[in-house]
Amino acid sequence: MESTTQQCLSLAVSTVVFALRPHPSTGRTTPWLPLVRRIREPYEGLWALPGGPLEDDQDLADSAGATLLRTTGLAPRHLEQLYAFGNVDRSPGERVVSIVYWALVRRDEDARAIDGDNVEWFVADDVHGLAFDHDVIVRYALDRLRAKITYSPIAHAFVTDEFTLAQLREVYEAVLGRALDPANFRRQILAQGAVEPTGRHVTGTSHRPPALYRSNPAHSRHSLTIEETS
Amino acid sequence: MESTTQQCLSLAVSTVVFALRPHPSTGRTTPWLPLVRRIREPYEGLWALPGGPLEDDQDLADSAGATLLRTTGLAPRHLEQLYAFGNVDRSPGERVVSIVYWALVRRDEDARAIDGDNVEWFVADDVHGLAFDHDVIVRYALDRLRAKITYSPIAHAFVTDEFTLAQLREVYEAVLGRALDPANFRRQILAQGAVEPTGRHVTGTSHRPPALYRSNPAHSRHSLTIEETS
CB contact under 8 A, B1 and A57: no
Residues B125 and B25 both lie in one domain: yes
Is position A159 within any domain? yes
Residues B160 and B144 both lie in one domain: no
B11 → closest Cβ in A36, A53, A97? A97
Is position B225 within any domain? no
Question: In whole angstroms, what is the distance from residue A53 CA to residue A73 CA?
Answer: 17
List, as ranges, residues 158-197 from B with C-beta within 8 Å of A: none
The total number of structural domains in chain B stands at 2
pLDDT at B229 > cutoff 50 = no
What average pLDDT does the segment B8-29 reach?
Answer: 92
Residues B78 and B161 both lie in one domain: no
Residues B23 and B129 both lie in one domain: yes
Chain A residue closest in CA terms to B192: A225
Query: How confident is the model over A126-153, as pLDDT tens digits?
Result: 999 999 999 999 999 999 999 999 888 8
On average, the pLDDT of chain B sits at 87
CATH of the domain at B173: 1.10.10.10
Question: In whole angstroms, what is the distance from residue A116 CA to residue B144 CA?
Answer: 39
Residues A39 and A143 both lie in one domain: yes
Residues A52 and A143 both lie in one domain: yes
Residues B60 and B138 both lie in one domain: yes
CATH of the domain at B128: 3.90.79.10
Query: How confident is the model over A9-58, as pLDDT tens digits?
Result: 889 999 999 999 999 999 999 999 999 999 999 999 999 999 999 998 99
Domain hosting B125: range is 10-148
Contacts of B6 in chain A (CB under 8 A): 53
pLDDT at position B205 is 66
Asked if residue A42 has a cis previous peptide bond (ω within 30° of 0), the answer is yes
User: Which pLDDT band holds residue B220 (cuts at 50, 70, 90)?
Assistant: low
Is position A122 within any domain? yes
Is position B211 within any domain? yes
CB atoms within 10 A of CB B230: 4
pLDDT at A215 > cutoff 50 = yes
To 5 degrees, how large is the angle CA B9–CA B11–CA B14? Answer: 155
Residues B86 and B189 both lie in one domain: no
Please say which residue of B101, B133, B148 terminates a domain.
B148
Is position B21 within any domain? yes
User: Which pLDDT band holds residue B116 (cuts at 50, 70, 90)?
Assistant: confident
Q: What is the DSSP letter of B2?
A: -
CB contact under 8 A, B84 and A99: yes
Question: In whole angstroms, what is the distance from residue A32 CA to residue A174 CA?
Answer: 10
pLDDT at A224 > cutoff 80 = no
